[in-house]
Structure 1
Amino acid sequence: MSTGFTEDEMRRALGLDTPAPAIAPHAEPKIEPAASIPVTAPPKAIPRTPVKRRGPMLRVTLQVSKVYDGEETLFVHDAKTLSRFDAEQEAKKALAKAGFKYFVVESIVTVD
C-alpha cells in the first residue's frame, strides 16, 4: 500500500521540515536595568470550593471481609462513571487499597 510519497515530501506537507528562523550572530538581547522593573507582590490565591458532580453516577454496595467467612461489613463506593462494569472494577480497586480481600456485590444503582 504505497502512496508514492517520500519521507521528505511527507515532512514538508506536515510542516515539519521548515527551517528555523536565522538569528543574527551579532544581535544580543536587550537587558533593562533592574531599577526600572516594578516589584509587585504575587497575587493571592483564591480558595476553591469543590465542584459538585453534575449528572448521575453509580453507587456500588458490597459486603466485604478481610478473612474468609469472617465478619462482614458494608462497603459503599461512588463511581463517577455510567458503566456498571467500570464502577465495579473501581470498587474492587478501592477494596484492595482498604485491605479487604473477599467481597460480594449487593447492588449497583444510579445516584443523581
Structure 2
Amino acid sequence: MTHYLTELYTPKPAWLALDLDARRQFFAAVGAGMSELSALGVEAIALGETNATKLHAASQQFFAIWQAPDEAAIDALISGIATSGWHDYFETINASGAGDDLNGHLSQLAALNHSD
C-alpha cells in the first residue's frame, strides 16, 4: 500500500543568515542523498510555496508531498531529512500515513468513537 509524507515548513533564522553559496552547498548535499531514497521508491509528488489566502491556510510557508511504496521507505525519507541537517534550517511539521480512497477515508472518519 502506498504511503505518503506531507511536510509543512518555514525557514528558521539560521537559513536566512546563510549566503547563497552556503545554501547551494547544503542543497547539493541533500541532492546527493536522494539517489538512495529513489532506489527505495521514494518520489516527490509536489513541492512549493503555500497559498496563505486559502481558507484555513497553514501558517508554514512551504510544503512537500512525497510518496513511497511502504512505511519503511517513508521512515528512510524522514530519517534522511533529519540526518541532512534540514531541521537546523527549517521548522517542520510532518504528516504521514498510508493512502486510501475517498470512501475508505470516510469510513475511517465514521468509525471514530464519539464522545457522549
Q: Which has the higher contact order (CA 8 A, sep 6+)?
A: 2
Say which structure is richer in strand.
2
Same fold (TM over 0.5): no
TM-score normalised to structure 1 length: 0.31
TM-score normalised to structure 2 length: 0.30
Say which structure is richer in helix.
2
